[in-house]
A and B are shown apart, each in its own frame.
Chain A
C-alpha cells in the first residue's frame, strides 16, 4: 500500500533517500532516532535521580546526523565516536540495555562498567569507541582505514567529531594522512555551533569546517544535519567514493545540541531564543512528517514506534539496575591481556 504511494508518479520529486531505502529501513531509521532521544532522556533522568554518577554529554537534537550517517553502513564498517557518542552507538546497532548497564557501571555493560558514557563502545557492531579526548578518534579512524586497506576489504571507517575537534592538530594530521594515502575514511563533523561554550565564530578562522577540506584535497560537503535525508545522501556519496578507492571525504552536518555541553552547563553563552529556534527544527519531527506525507508511515504506526522505544528504554534501565557490580578484586584485570603487572 505505502510502497504504491512511493512509486506513484505524482510524487515524482521524491528524494533519492526515500527511493534508496525500502519502507522497513526508513521506519527503522525513525525508530532508532526515537530510541536515541528516549535513551538520552532516560540517561538524563537516571542521572538527575542520582542513579548514575559522573557526567554525560547528551545528543538530543543531533539524532538525524547519527542515524543518517550509519543507516547505510555495514556491520564490518568501523565508526569512531566522541564524548557525545550515545547516538552514534545506537545508530551503529548497539543494544540500549547494554549501554544502560555500562552507565550504571555494571559487568553486563558494553565495557564491563570500566568505560562509562565517555568510552562507550560496541566492537561487535563496528563501534571502536567513544572518546574522552576531543580529536582523539580522528587518527584512530585513519589507522582503522589503513588496516582495512591492508586486509584488502572494501569497508570504510567513519569518524565522528565535532566542530571543536577541527581546531585540534590531530584533525589536520589525520586528514592529511588519509588524503595522501587515499584511505577509505569519512570524516563526519557534527557542527553544533559550540565547542563547549566557545562558538565557531570565535574559534575558527573559516566559516565552515568543510572549508578546511580543500587544504587536504578532499571533497568537503555541508549538509543540514537535522535532515536525515541530506545527511544520508551525502554519506552514501562519500562511502561509494571510499569503497571505490577514491579516498576520504569530509561532511559537515550543521546541527545543534539542545541540552548543554554536559551537566555543568548553565547556558550562559547562548540565548533561549536560539535554543527555541533549533527546537523548532527538530530532526525527528521533520522526518516523521515526511514519512507520513509520503505515505510511508501512518500516524498510529508512528505512535507504536514511540511507545516501543519508550518501553525498550524503560526495560533497559530496569535491566541495568539489576546488573552485577564489578568486584574491586578485579580492578586491574583488563589492564593487560595476559595479566602482567
Chain B
C-alpha cells in the first residue's frame, strides 16, 4: 500500500481517469466539466487527457442531459454524470426517479441502467439556500437507486469505482467541504464495496452513525469526549441504500446508545430511518437511552455565516448532545 496523499477531489478524478482507461464505454457528462475543469475542479484536466467526446460539456439542461445519460446507459455506454450542485438535481428528478430507477424493474429485469451520478452537496460555502442542500435521503427513498456518500479521499475513489462497475444506477454524494481534504489514497484501482458501513473509531458507551462531513465532526467530538471518559464508537455509514443494518445493530447492542448525525433536514432524514430500524431490531432491548438525532434545521440553508453554521450540526453541538445522552445530565 502506498502512503501517497491526495485530496478528495483528486481522488475522485483519479477514479474517473482509471475507469476511463480501463473501459472505453465509460465517459463523463456534465456542466463545465471540460476546459473549465468543473465548478469544484474535480474533473480538472481530464478533458485534455481523454478528449471532448469522453469528457462532455452539456448545455445547462439538467433534465435533458440526465435523460441522455439514461439513454446512453440503456444502449451500452457507461455514463458518469456530474451535477454542478446537487441542488440542480431537482430539475432532473423525472429522469432519475421515474426512468433510471425504474426502467430495469418495469422491463421485467431484461435491461440494466449502469449510470453513475455525482452530486456536490452540503452547506458551509456561503452559497445559500439553492446551492447548499443535502438531499441524499430523497434518493435513498427510491427503490432502484443506490446511494453512497464517501467521507474520505480513500472512499471517494473506492466507492466511485464500485459505482462505475455497478450495473444499476448509483448516486454518489460528495460533500463540497471535503473536496480539499487530504488523505491516503492507494494508486491502484481498488474498490470500496457499496452497502458496507465502516467503524471509524471503536467505543463502548455510545454509537454515533454519521454521514459525509459529519463523520469528521463526530470523530472530533469523540476525541474530546474521550478526555471526559466517554468512549464513543463512530460509524461512517458510507452507503444510504442499501443500508448496512447489521453493522449498526451490532454496534448498538454493544454500546447501548445511539446518536445519528447527518446534515440533511432532520425530519424524515436518514436518521429517522436508522432510528426506526433500530427500534424494530433486536438492538432495541439493549438501549439504555432514547435515540438521539442531530440533523439539519427545519429551514433552508441561510447565507449569513453564523446562521449557516447554526443550520447544521457542528462539533460543539455533537459533544454537548452526546454527553447528555451518555450521562443523562442536562
Contact = CB atoms under 8 A, between A and B. Distances in A.
A341 B241 contact: yes
A198 to B, nearest CB: 20
B74 A109 contact: no
Contact of B67 (A111, A138, A335): A138
B225 interface: no
A142 B59 contact: no
A123 B70 contact: no
Nearest to B115: A143
Contacts of A165: none
A67 interface: no
B108 A177 contact: no
Contacts of B108: 109-115, 334
A341 B111 contact: no
A280 interface: no
A151 interface: yes
Contacts of B195: 340-341
A148 interface: yes
Contacts of B111: 121, 123, 128
A173 B62 CA distance: 9
A23 interface: no
Contacts of A142: 64, 67-68, 71
B59 A173 contact: yes
Contacts of B107: 110-111, 114-115, 119, 121, 123, 129
B74 A128 contact: yes
Given A169-B63, A341-B242, A139 B70 contact: yes
A169 B70 CA distance: 17
Nearest to A110: B108
Contacts of B63: 139, 169-170, 173
Contact of A143 (B61, B70, B143): B70
A266 interface: no
Contacts of B104: 334-337
A195 interface: no
B144 interface: yes
A341 B125 CA distance: 34
A333 B110 CA distance: 12
B105 A334 contact: yes
Interface in A131-178: 131-133, 136, 138-148, 150-151, 157, 169-170, 172-174, 176-177
A157 B67 CA distance: 14
B168 A337 contact: yes
B60 to A, nearest CB: 9
A12 interface: no
B305 to A, nearest CB: 35
B221 interface: no
Contacts of B123: none
Interface string B23-39: 00101000000000000
Given A111-B107, A139-B95, A150-B27, A177 B167 contact: no
B67 A340 contact: no
B300 interface: no
B300 to A, nearest CB: 24
B65 A146 contact: no
A100 interface: no
Given A147-B75, A150-B27, A173 B65 contact: yes
A180 interface: yes
Contact of B109 (A112, A157, A174): A112
B109 A144 contact: no
Given A146-B68, A340-B242, A140 B77 contact: no
A150 B75 CA distance: 10
Contacts of A341: 195, 241-243
B41 interface: no
Given A133-B94, A147-B77, A170-B64, A177 B109 contact: no
Contacts of A109: 108
Interface string A89-109: 000000000000000000001
A173 B67 CA distance: 10
B243 to A, nearest CB: 7
A338 interface: yes
A174 B71 CA distance: 11
Nearest to A113: B108
Contacts of A271: none
B105 A114 contact: yes
B146 interface: yes
Contacts of B53: 150
A173 B64 contact: yes
Given A114-B108, A136-B94, A136-B98, A143 B242 contact: no
Contacts of A144: 71-72, 74-75
Nearest to A132: B98
B112 interface: yes
Given A139-B70, A143-B67, A173-B63, A334 B109 contact: yes
A142 to B, nearest CB: 5
Interface in B68-124: 68-77, 79, 94-95, 98-99, 103-112
A65 to B, nearest CB: 22
B294 to A, nearest CB: 25
A268 to B, nearest CB: 29
For the complex of A and B, the 6 pairs showing the least CB-CB separation, nearest first, are: A143-B71, A139-B67, A173-B64, A341-B242, A334-B109, A112-B108
9 contacts: A109-B108, A131-B99, A133-B94, A136-B98, A139-B64, A143-B68, A150-B77, A335-B144, A341-B243
Interface of A: 78, 80, 109-115, 119, 121, 123, 128-129, 131-133, 136, 138-148, 150-151, 157, 169-170, 172-174, 176-177, 180, 332-338, 340-341
Given A111-B107, A114-B105, A129-B103, 9 more contacts: A110-B108, A114-B107, A114-B108, A136-B98, A140-B70, A140-B74, A147-B72, A336-B104, A336-B146
Interface of B: 25, 27, 53, 58-59, 61, 63-77, 79, 94-95, 98-99, 103-112, 143-144, 146, 166-168, 194-195, 241-243
